[in-house]
Structure 1
């Protein structure tokens, strides 16, 4: 089959490049298809607030329509990733909310994780220092995690009298590190150092504190230069197949792969192989 001819196909609907996006509660930069989200309250170890939760949720939802964003990096300013929900801006006010208000909050925080898992771009977390509570969930909801030996990751919820089942932790964490290890962390709220996190499979790689962000960006850039339509399909299948039997998963993958075989990127790869050249993927 030859390449599709004519102008590059423009998807219908409200598409966005996000090149001019200016958030209010964190930093955002877009360079060569890689968006970097930086939690930017270093004096407090980058805690989340009601507003930053909501703005992050809305941004990850918008990424589904952002053709110019091919991969995402999430990090924290200073020497920490994220200390979780702000004690003064979130925890205190929560003690004064009624049950409908509390449920609205917990659903909003869960919606952030849903948005991260639903956005088609791979998400790479660059983690140094404190990665705790909701910050640990942001790391967990990412697709790839680069950390440092000095980092401390903790699912702190039981330390404040709450259950470990927050923002999808009981579904996501066992799939990353195993049921027994996840149970220990979620029951105790203890922290993992970077070496343990890598050994248990929570971190994909350990880096030096000085290089962790650069290495995460380099990995994201390599993904952004690849077959991004196919990457989005891989992410979708990784998410959907959690709830499938093996036969269903094999059929779903047959359909997904057939769709990818109809893309120009698949044909570019074949023609580049024949010509003994490196394929130049364009995500279509």
Structure 2
């Protein structure tokens, strides 16, 4: 990928590379300009720990400063996506913590969702098998979801005596599946199967299990081949406009689109169209 042009005065401290990046608590690989996160504790259905929450949060924050990655895929190792917070390593210790420590924890988990929504790269969740608790939240916080018929997504907080309002679920989930369906899932904690999830709009696509990662990577690569700056603007506006009226949204989009018209990718697309060629977007 051609590196996006930036003044050397701005690049220092504002651009980072993930070359050589090796996380301790999940897998990371780059397939061209697509980053692949693998939750890799398959023997326990890939649960999260205090450390993996924090490391995932930090990676998504860092991605805001990375040009070389234009799309992200999140998957689980083995036949499951993520079983949520580890019962022994998180749930047990939480029962002994003080209120300030509990609040520090819940804020940290929410910061992971904030970081996923704030990073400019579109995020695709590749969901197979169990996708529960915090795993369901990570899937929800992604921009797109591809699953399998055997996937089971459960916002099961109520089943452990907690509220469904966890990590932004009461804000984000109704915008994906609707208020009534979100209420069903958050009150009951029941599993949403793959076929039902597709019909509800939670899943964007369903594929056979053996096609899950190839499909997610292919989709991510198609997105990564597009205008990265414009895609980042689309993601930002999809998020920001939740709190806007229609008139505010139209004005915000007018400003956003005018900014995108100043990019070289917009000019490349025009000249390629005139020449009856496919544009080669470079993200600037």
Q: Which bin holds the TM-score, normalised by the shorter protein? A: over 0.9
Aligned equivalent of 1:154? 154
> Could you list the runs of 4 or more consecutive aligned residues of structure 1 that deviate by over 4 angstroms after TM superposition?
none
Matched residues in 2 for 1:270 and 1:173: separation?
38
Aligned equivalent of 1:97? 97
Alignment of 1:9-88 (within 5 A): 9-10=6-7, 11-12=10-11, 13-88=13-88
1:243 to 2:251 alignment: no
Matched residues in 2 for 1:201 and 1:89: separation?
33
* Displacement of 1:32: 1.1
Aligned equivalent of 1:121? 121
* Displacement of 1:9: 2.5
* Displacement of 1:16: 1.0
Aligned equivalent of 1:3? none
Aligned equivalent of 2:5? 8
Please, which runs of 5 or more residues in structure 1 have no aligned partner? 1-6
Deviation string, structure 1 residues 29-73 (Cα, Å, up to 9, x no partner): 012100000000000000000000000000000000011010000
Aligned equivalent of 1:131? 131
Aligned equivalent of 2:201? 201
CA RMSD of aligned residues (A): 0.9
Matched residues in 2 for 1:196 and 1:16: separation?
41
SS of the residue 2:209 aligns to: coil
Given that 1:17 and 1:69 are in contact with CA atoms closer than 8 Å, whether structure 2 keeps it comes out as no
Instruction: Give the TM-score normalised by structure 2.
Output: 0.97
Instruction: Give the TM-score normalised by structure 1.
Output: 0.97
Given that 1:60 and 1:115 are in contact with CA atoms closer than 8 Å, whether structure 2 keeps it comes out as yes
Matched residues in 2 for 1:230 and 1:195: separation?
32
Deviation string, structure 1 residues 179-198 (Cα, Å, up to 9, x no partner): 00000100000001100000
Matched residues in 1 for 2:31 and 2:220: separation?
11
Given that 1:23 and 1:55 are in contact with CA atoms closer than 8 Å, whether structure 2 keeps it comes out as yes
Aligned equivalent of 1:167? 167
Matched residues in 2 for 1:149 and 1:257: separation?
38
Matched residues in 2 for 1:16 and 1:219: separation?
25
Given that 1:80 and 1:130 are in contact with CA atoms closer than 8 Å, whether structure 2 keeps it comes out as yes
Matched residues in 1 for 2:178 and 2:206: separation?
20
Aligned length: 278
SS of the residue 2:153 aligns to: strand
Matched residues in 2 for 1:263 and 1:98: separation?
51
Given that 1:19 and 1:30 are in contact with CA atoms closer than 8 Å, whether structure 2 keeps it comes out as no
